[in-house]
Structures are given as C-alpha cells and as structure tokens.
Structure 1
Amino acid sequence: MLPKKALLFAAILGAATLALVSCTGGNTGTNSPEPTPARLSATVTISDDGAQNASPVTPVTVHAEHGRLRAVAMVNTETSAEVRGTIDPATLTWTSAEPLGYGSTYRIVAHAVGDNGKQTEQRGTITTVTPEAQAEPNLIPGPAAVADTGVGVGQPIVFQFTEPVTDKAAVEKRLSVVSQPAQKGGWYWIDDQNVHYRPKEYWQPGTTLTVSAKVYGVDFGNGVYGAGDRTETYRVHDSWTAKADGATARMAIFHNGQQVRTMPISMGKDATPTHLGAHVISDKQASYTMDSCTYGVCQGDPDYYRSEERWSLRISNDGEFVHENPNSVSAQGSSNVSHGCINLNAENAQWFFEHFGLGDVVEVTNSGGPRLPVWDLYGDWSLSWEEWQAGSALR
C-alpha cells in the first residue's frame, strides 16, 4: 500500500497530463468545421459602357466576377446586325471579334449565372466616333497596272491619302512593307498626303513585296480617320538600269548587272539641263503629246513646245522622258540639245520601250543640271540613306 504522499503525487501528475492533452487538442475530434464561403451573385462589367466616341477598332469586352457568362449579344441599334464575339474557355470574358462602324450605337445584353446559382442580366450601350472626314489609302503605282509586268528595282511604294495627315506617327505605325527576301527600307513623308517607302539599295530582282495600311479607326488628326485597311502584293522583275552620261552623250544599258547595249543620246541643253541622279520610270506610252505647258512653260514663252513623240517613258514630273526624237538624231552621241528629255533614234527608242517599264531606273550623270528633287514623283533616290531615314515620322 502506497504512502499518502505517493498517492497525492500520482493524483497531481494525472491531472496535469489531462490538462496538457486538453490544451494541445490532439486528435480528439473536437475541432470546429471551417465556415463555408458565401456564394455571391455574378457581377458583369462592360468595357466603355456609355462611351460616346469609342474607337471602332478597340475590342469590346464583357467580364463576369463571382460567376460565369452564359450569353452575350452586341447589336447595332440602327441595322440590327449582330457583332461577332467569342467567350473564353473559362466563360469569364466575352470579346468582340470584328471592327465596329463609325458613328454607330451598339446595345450589349449579357447574361451570367452567379456562384449562388442566380441569373444576372447586364445591359449597356457604346457609340463610336463620327469622323469629320475619312482618308482612303491610295497606292502608287496602282497594283492592277503592274500585275502582269511587275515593277523595277527602283520602284518606291507610295501611299497617297485622300485627306491631310496631321498625326503622321500614328499613321506610319500602321503602315508596313514586308520584302521577301528581306531588305532594309524605310518611310519618308513627302508632304501631308504622300508617304514613300524605298529600300536602302535597289530592290533585288525577284523580290515579293507585301504592302499594308492598317489605318481603319486610326485618328489622323483634325477629325480625319482612316477609311479602311488595304493590303496588296507587288513583284519585282529583272533589273533594268540605264546609265546616261551627258559628257559622252551615250547611255549604257544593264540587265541584271550586265551591260547589254550602248546608245547615242542627246540630253537637255544648257538652258534646260536634265536633272542629275537616279530617275524611276513612272509611265510609258507608245505615242504621247509632249506639252511643256504641263510643267509651266506655256505659249508665249520662247521655250514652249508641243509635239507628238513615240516610244515615250516618263522619268520625272518635270517633263523629262526617254523617247524617240528624229529631229535630234544628228546631235545624238555628240551634244545635248533637248528640253531636258533623253532623245534616242527610232530603233533605239523602240528597243528601250520594249525592254524598260515601271520602276526601272535611268541614272543621269554629267548633265549640268540640278539634282532631281525628292518631291518630283520618284525623286526618292536623290537622298542618301541617312537623309531618307530623317523623313520618317518615327525617327
């Protein structure tokens, strides 16, 4: 039989042990369960809801919180045409999948089911901006004009907009020329409506050019917006280059870098010298009326002329052509007597006409004239590459 002191100690030890188990919790199964989260109704938000000048190309989104989207309808209130859109796999967000029209109002109705199983409907409206004017992105040369022949290695690509461009940087960001094989190139703004693209060097023969203007919905400034997008493809044909030398009064012809012919020529006389530099052929006519009044020298001026010429290829907008001129045959190969054109005899003029086309190059040296201005239709090659790059709005 234990002494009384030993019995008292055992009792105290047992009580302490029970207290320790009770404080630590152990695995007694007496814990309280975690509270169940409250299940909420869905909250639906519509981007730009109530906007009065929304961009027609910024996608509209409908998003659900605390639930899932069941259906979304976006309808033009005037035409009743429904806007295409897609719901993401998680059924949380609907996104419009096509551009909207200018100056149009759209009604959006979205249905969702909340985490609590209750249905929710959300309505909204969006009105897009109404332009004061819309600018079309016209292309030069027209793709149809060169669909069969392709373009020459000197051909710049020109977007001519039908309205002035104030925010040139915003527009230029939406323009592209993709060359295959890849070649370095850049844009140059001639003025507020004309922007040119040329490569650093002449195009490689056989190049394919994919040209795009993604300008629909772009703010050109002063209330003008892009009227539509445009994408076209050009093909660069064989390299044809003529080197006209005023000092020798002869022109060497090169096909894919190899000289194939030399022709006697007569260029502009001292009073009307031919411009220096690389000229690009922009038009060709088997028969053409040469009229100096088209560039400001009209009747009454001693230098005025009007004549019918054959085998004519335009090389600038300043009245310069390569063409047949029977009246200067005696001077061809010895002196320069024209009003600025490059004159050939009948045989050479016809041969040149048959082998050269849009985008091919005529390089003029030793003419005594000024350099062809960059703004003279295709004076693009008169600038160095550094000067050309400075004409970009994104420089």
Structure 2
Amino acid sequence: MFPKKTLLSVAGVLAATLLVSACSSGGDTAGTAAAPGAPGAGSNQSAPPATVTIEPANADNISPTTPIVVKAANGKLLDVTVTSAKGKAVAGKVATDGLSWTNTDVLGYGGTYKIVAHAQSTDGKSIEKDGQVTTLSPTKQANANLIPAPSAVKSSGVGVGQPIVFSFGVAVKDKAAVEKALNVESSPKQEGSWYWMDDKNVHYRPKVYWQPGTTLTVTAKIYGVDFGNGVFGAEDRTETYKVHDSWIAKADGNSEQMQIFHNGSMVKSMPISMGKDATPTHLGAHVISDKQANYTMDSCTYGVCPPDPKAYRSDEKFSQRISNDGEFVHENPNSVGQQGSSNVSHGCINLNAANAEWFFQNFGLGDVVEVTNSGGPQLPVWDLYGDWSKSWTDWQKGSAL
C-alpha cells in the first residue's frame, strides 16, 4: 500500500502526460481516422459531378448570328453535336482547355437546332446535356447590291471620283444598324464617310478624290442584321475595287474648251459645246457611270417626251453618261460648227469625231468631268453620282451614325 502522498504524485504525472498529448501537433498519427470532411479525408470522398450549361438555353426566335456556347464545370467536354431539323451538322470547336464549345458555322433563318453535349467529371463519370434553339424567320431579306458591279470593273478599275454604292432593294428603317455593318477599307488609308441618298441607297466617298492606285476593300456584314419592319440582311459580302490612274476633264462654258488632266498634268484640250440656255448642263463634278460606243439618246427615259419641244431621240457615238437626266459626253457632228464658240446641246458635252473617240478610249467608269460656267444649276446630290456636290461637312451629315 502506497502512502497517500505518493498516490497524489502519480496521479499528477498521469494528468500532465495526458495534457501534453492532447496539445501536441506532432507525433505519430498512424491508424487514426480523420473526421469526414477534414483534411486527409479526400481519398475517401467522391469528386463533384460535372455540369454542362448551354447558352442560349432552349431559346426561340434568336438571331442566326447568336453563337451557341456550351460550357463544362468540374470536368471537361467530350463532344458537342448541333444538328438542324434536316439532320445537317453545324460545325463547332472545343476550346483548348476542354471547358467550352462554340459553333463556327452560322445558323440559318427559320431553323430548329438540336444540341447534345457530353462531359466527363474528374472521376471519370459521364453526363449528357440536351438543348434546342430556333432562329427567327424574316418577313423579307435584303441583299447588299453593289454599284458599280465589281465584275464590270474588274479589269479596268474605277476612276478617282467613283463613289461606292450599296443598294438594298427594300426600305431600311434602322439605318444606323445597317451602316455599322458596312465598311470601306482604303489602302493607302483615306478619310471617307457614308451618305444615305434615300431609304434604299447609301453612298460612300472619300473627303477628296481617291488616290490613283488605291485598293478598296468593301464589306457588308449584314447577315442577321435587323433592318427594321421585319427585314433582315440576306448574306455577308466582301468585294475589292482598284482605282486606276487619275483622269479629270474640266469643261468651261466660257472658253468652250475642255482640258484633260492625267494624274494631275494637262495632256489635251478640245473644243466643246454644252447645253443651251433652255437646257443648260449642270454645274459641278460629274462622274462617268456608263459608256457605249453606239447609244440611242431618248429624252423620254427621264420624262421629257413628245410633243414637248425639249424632247429628242437620236443615235450617237462614243457616249459616256455623266448624270442620270440625259447628260453625256459624246460625238455630235451636227454641232461641230458651234464647238469652241457656243452652247447648243440639250445638256450634253458635244465633241467632234476625233476628240470623242480619244475621250472614249481614255476615260471610263469613275472618271470625273468637272463643269464650270455652264449657266446651269448645281448637279443634285441624288442624281446618280452627284456625291461631289456636297461639301465634306455636309456630306458627313448624311451618315446615320
């Protein structure tokens, strides 16, 4: 039997030992199970399941340009298929990290598309996610028709005064939305701007004439663009124009001469006869829009028909149109005696046979005829290519942006 004092000492030692063990952060923990959720318990806990989201999710009436985006979390995408109602696959691409997929093909109007995505979580378990979207159906579709037609000037190029024209064939309500989808990139870079002539036609011209040798890349990214009133863009379009040498003719009604400038240097002068007092030639810069070696000029084409005394119909040679109301540069043997001395035409610029043929051979679409001292009014901005009648400040006001 131990003495009472000895028993108390042993109890104190045991208590101290237990206290040290309870507070210690080290020591051997082998064989000790960690509490659920505590560090060290991960090997016994399953990985969180993978999740897949589709954007837009089961949406109707979306724009065909709205991207379909499939995303994975807590895992990676295995595959994504998007198919139309007719079974056509829509191409797409999985991101390098395997966490997202986006379509690379554009969708069509008025279509239904089924989406099936498979993903795998980190523990190897697979899941499937399905979805569906439908695209809007336009009341009408608008095409971006270009003037001049790129095919018509592919070999010849255009002159320094040529505006670029988009004609849509239907009225555009939201001009700002459409204009944002249009672009003209000039090389070398030159300042330019759009001008809406009316609800269907928008023109682009530089601040000053194009530099000779300029390349123009014209783009209309209108597919899926809402024109307003149920009209949407039919398809995107990109075309390229080349600006040829500078050819500018300066026709003076006082001197009755037309001086010809090639790349800034005068190379020729020829006698002319412009419009008489009753039918004066318009003032200002005209741009050639068409050329025909043989052409029947009929005033009825712009509303002046017999028995109006101003009406006429005649067959002419080497004709180049400079406005949409009957003004041409052309040969006229009947006015040779007045060429260089008086104005007797219906508004055209008359030349003798030799000068008319020379002019026809050297001038073409987009080249410029500047008219001064004709006694006529300014060429209206809306008269085909009356674009240069506006100052740069006023021209910029015609933009919808």
Distance 1:244 1:57 in 2: 51
Indicate the residue corresponding to 1:28 in structure 2.
27
2:283 pairs with 1:276: yes
Indicate the residue corresponding to 2:73 in structure 1.
65
The two structures have a TM-score, normalised by structure 1, of 0.93
Helix, strand or coil at the partner of 2:360: helix
* 1:43 positional shift: 1.6
Encode CA deviations 1:354-374: one digit per residue, 9 max, x unaligned. Answer: 110000000001111111111
Q: Which runs of 5+ in 2 are unaligned?
A: 1-7
Alignment of 1:73-222 (within 5 A): 73-77=81-85, 79-222=86-229
Helix, strand or coil at the partner of 1:287: strand
Encode CA deviations 1:41-63: one digit per residue, 9 max, x unaligned. Answer: 22211112222211111210111
Q: Which amino acid aligns with 1:64?
A: A
Encode CA deviations 1:298-351: one digit per residue, 9 max, x unaligned. Answer: 111011111111110000001100011111111111111111111111111111
Helix, strand or coil at the partner of 1:350: helix
- Pairing partner for 2:233 from 226, 232, 251: 226
Helix, strand or coil at the partner of 1:170: helix
Helix, strand or coil at the partner of 1:386: helix
Encode CA deviations 1:69-119: one digit per residue, 9 max, x unaligned. Answer: 111110011x21100011111211111011011101011111112234322
Alignment of 1:281-320 (within 5 A): 281-320=288-327
Helix, strand or coil at the partner of 1:351: helix
Distance 2:95 2:106 in 1: 19
RMSD (Å) for aligned C-alpha atoms: 2.1
Distance 1:181 1:360 in 2: 19
Distance 1:299 1:357 in 2: 32
Encode CA deviations 1:248-300: one digit per residue, 9 max, x unaligned. Answer: 11110000000001111111111111111100000000111111111111111
2:47 pairs with 1:39: yes
Helix, strand or coil at the partner of 2:307: coil
- Pairing partner for 2:369 from 362, 366, 371: 362
Distance 2:142 2:202 in 1: 14
Q: Is the 8 A contact 1:75 1:108 kept in 2?
A: yes
Helix, strand or coil at the partner of 2:259: strand
Helix, strand or coil at the partner of 2:171: coil
Moved more, 188-197 or 26-35: 26-35
2:326 pairs with 1:327: no
Q: Which amino acid aligns with 2:150?
A: P
Q: Which amino acid aligns with 2:106?
A: P
Indicate the residue corresponding to 2:386 in structure 1.
379
Following superposition, which runs of at least 4 residues in structure 1 exceed 6 angstroms of deviation?
A: 11-18
Distance 2:363 2:176 in 1: 36
Distance 2:26 2:51 in 1: 42
Indicate the residue corresponding to 2:3 in structure 1.
none
* 1:38 positional shift: 5.4
Distance 1:17 1:304 in 2: 125
Q: Is the 8 A contact 1:41 1:117 kept in 2?
A: no
* 1:148 positional shift: 1.0
Q: Is the 8 A contact 1:86 1:95 kept in 2?
A: yes
Counting aligned pairs with the same residue, the percent is 66
Distance 2:285 2:46 in 1: 77
Indicate the residue corresponding to 2:60 in structure 1.
52
Q: Which amino acid aligns with 2:130?
A: R
Q: Which runs of 5+ in 1 are unaligned?
A: 1-7
Distance 1:29 1:237 in 2: 89
The two structures have a TM-score, normalised by structure 2, of 0.91
